[in-house]
């Protein structure tokens, strides 16, 4: 698979990564542990070298799964994980934001053990913490990098201002935020800031939490553990109203011999050469479908047609 560099960080990964959260955390039923280990092995065999997890997924169980599965491939893959929430006895309530330097250092040590690595390839702040200046966060990660425990610093869901302030203390390798055909707010100032500073961008939910696959209709039901259960974009009314987005993807797909999901991912890839989406998957057929997006190409006039069509679509429902 094509390799991409995240900005000017020197960190090279597969053009499409793999979000691992739902393999052991989130909407039920979660994946069987041994089946997910085998699945991760198959992802590596198919050229995926970029895997995304976080301490809070579980908490802890997702890092443990990823660490066990990818241990045989150390040196061949890049694992990104995250800090920024409290899961211990001292500090804010469990699940609350916590990016105090002492907490960052604690998470790093524990994540190293769970992931079974000598250094964390990419260490994101999971969410901005209004109680801790971003300069202190960046400074704490800088010390971990100097100590050889972290290789690259990342931010998630950060504003352009926070990105600039953090980058001034410790260069940011990548910013992870939601970005897809139906959620494009990062185009306003986050993507231009990343381009200016030489920072890679990693879209999560690049398939709109599954909606952009074209497989969800207004009859869909969601388990109480599923984030989409109370999501404004997944009410029957919104699903029906947003069908116009799927129709656009299906139209393009018919011309390209591709599925809606492949078109959605390929559209992201063509935006910038330093963008690396991380669709989540637990099934081999879905993984292979997603990876097929890397082979799609668009002519300039096709991209203009897509842009024109998108400009006439108003997506119904807030993202949360």
Catalytic residue list? 57
The conformation of residue 15, written as its DSSP 8-state character, comes to: S
CA 66/CA 51 separation, integer angstroms: 8
Give the closest residue to 272 by CA, choosing from 187, 211, 189, 207. Answer: 187
DSSP 55-75: TTTTTTHHHHHHHHHHGGGTT
* Chain CA centroid to CA 231, Å: 19
Helix 284-291 and helix 260-271, axial crossing angle in degrees, nearest 10: 40
Residue found by looking up tokens 């081999």 in the block: 284
Strands of 165-314, DSSP E: 172-178, 200-204
Structural contact between residues 302 and 245, judged by C-beta atoms closer than 8 angstroms: no
The conformation of residue 80, written as its DSSP 8-state character, comes to: E
CA 37/CA 65 separation, integer angstroms: 7
CA 275/CA 191 separation, integer angstroms: 10
Q: Where does residue 66 fall: left (phi above 0), alpha (psi -120 to 50 degrees), or beta otherwise?
A: alpha
Asked whether the CA dihedral 151, 153, 156, 160 is positive or negative, the reply is negative
Structural contact between residues 100 and 88, judged by C-beta atoms closer than 8 angstroms: no
Q: Determine if the peptide bond prior to 148 is cis (ω within 30°).
A: no
Give the closest residue to 64 by CA, choosing from 24, 95, 99, 94. Answer: 24
């Amino acid at each position: 698979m094509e390799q991409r560099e995240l900005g000017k960080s020197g960190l090279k990964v597969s053009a499409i990564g793999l979000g691992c959260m739902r393999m052991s955390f989130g909407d039920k039923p979660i994946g069987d542990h041994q089946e997910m280990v085998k699945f991760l092995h198959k992802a590596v065999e198919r050229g995926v070298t970029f895997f995304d997890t976080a301490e809070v997924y579980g908490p802890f169980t997702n890092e443990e799964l990823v660490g066990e599965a990818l241990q045989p491939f150390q040196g061949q893959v890049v694992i990104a994980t995250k800090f920024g929430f409290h899961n211990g006895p001292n500090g804010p309530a469990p699940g609350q934001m916590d990016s105090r330097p002492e907490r960052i250092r604690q998470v790093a040590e524990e994540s190293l053990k769970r992931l079974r690595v000598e250094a964390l390839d990419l260490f994101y702040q999971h969410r901005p913490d209004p109680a801790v200046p971003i300069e202190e966060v960046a400074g704490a990660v800088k010390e971990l990098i100097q100590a050889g425990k972290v290789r690259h610093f990342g931010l998630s869901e950060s504003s352009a201002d926070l990105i600039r302030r953090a980058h001034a203390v410790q260069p940011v390798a990548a910013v992870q935020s939601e970005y897809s055909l139906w959620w494009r707010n990062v185009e306003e100032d986050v993507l231009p800031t990343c381009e200016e500073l030489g920072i890679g961008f990693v879209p999560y939910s690049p398939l709109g939490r599954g909606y952009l696959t074209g497989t969800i209709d207004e009859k869909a039901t969601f388990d109480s553990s599923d984030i989409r259960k109370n999501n404004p974009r997944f009410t029957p009314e919104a699903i029906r109203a947003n069908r116009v987005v799927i129709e656009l993807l299906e139209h393009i797909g018919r011309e390209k011999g591709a599925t809606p999901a492949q078109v959605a991912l390929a559209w992201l890839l063509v935006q910038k050469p330093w963008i690396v989406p991380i669709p989540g998957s637990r099934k081999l057929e879905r993984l292979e479908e997603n990876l097929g997006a890397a082979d799609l190409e668009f002519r300039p006039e096709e991209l203009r047609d897509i842009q024109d069509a998108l400009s006439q679509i108003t997506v119904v429902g807030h993202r949360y």
